[in-house]
């Protein structure tokens, strides 16, 4: 971490501060942005293989657990990331809500299939350049009837 506490922060051409992964376009391999998609995938497999690791964490304040079995397993993996992994890393998600909050809400509102697709799309666009085009706001879309 640098002396000014801006770990990995840099300024863009306009002089605005950017996140720790501003120069990285590939969030699949970069470990900073929202834990990287590979970290999310590893957390999912870890939760599916060893559910006892996240059993005591309870419901997430962002959204209650979803009903379906697959959606609940995915929810537990994101919950594990939010409780065990995320607190050990500096916050650097450029969006509001953060990618992990988005994931919990998407699984609750849309289930495993559509929610999983929404989460994957969000992780792929989780970089400062894409967030700037959306004014740093990217809420979960409403449920279709």
What whole-number percentage of the chain has pLDDT above 70?
A: 59
Domain spans, the chain: 28-133
Residue found by looking up tokens 């501060």 in the block: 17
Q: Looking at the predicted structure, is the pLDDT value of residue 42 above 90?
A: no
Q: How confident is the model at residue 62 (pLDDT cuts 50, 70, 90)?
A: confident
How far is it, in rounded angstroms, from Cα 46 to Cα 1?
29
CA dihedral in degrees (32, 69, 105, 132; nearest 10)?
Answer: 40
Which string of b and e fits 123-132 if b means at least 16 CB within 10 Å?
bebbbbebbe
Tokens found for residue 38: 């590979």
Residue 69 binned pLDDT confidence (cut-offs 50, 70, 90): very high
Tens of pLDDT along 78-91?
A: 999 999 999 999 98
pLDDT of 117 above 60: yes
State pLDDT tens for residues 14-35.
555 555 444 444 444 444 555 5
Three-state DSSP class for residue 110: helix
């Amino acid at each position: 971490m640098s002396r000014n506490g801006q770990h990995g922060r840099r300024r863009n051409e306009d002089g605005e501060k950017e996140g720790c992964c501003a120069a990285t376009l590939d969030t699949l391999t970069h470990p900073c942005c929202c834990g990287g998609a590979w970290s999310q995938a590893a957390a999912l497999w870890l939760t599916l293989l060893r559910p006892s690791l996240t059993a005591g964490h309870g419901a997430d304040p962002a959204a209650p657990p979803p009903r379906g079995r697959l959606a609940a397993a995915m929810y537990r993996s994101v919950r594990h990331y939010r409780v065990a992994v995320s607190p050990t890393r500096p916050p650097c998600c450029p969006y509001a809500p953060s990618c992990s909050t988005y994931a919990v809400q998407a699984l609750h509102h849309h289930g495993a299939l559509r929610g999983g697709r929404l989460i994957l799309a969000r992780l792929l666009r989780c970089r400062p350049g894409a967030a700037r085009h959306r004014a740093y706001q990217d809420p979960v879309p409403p449920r279709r009837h």
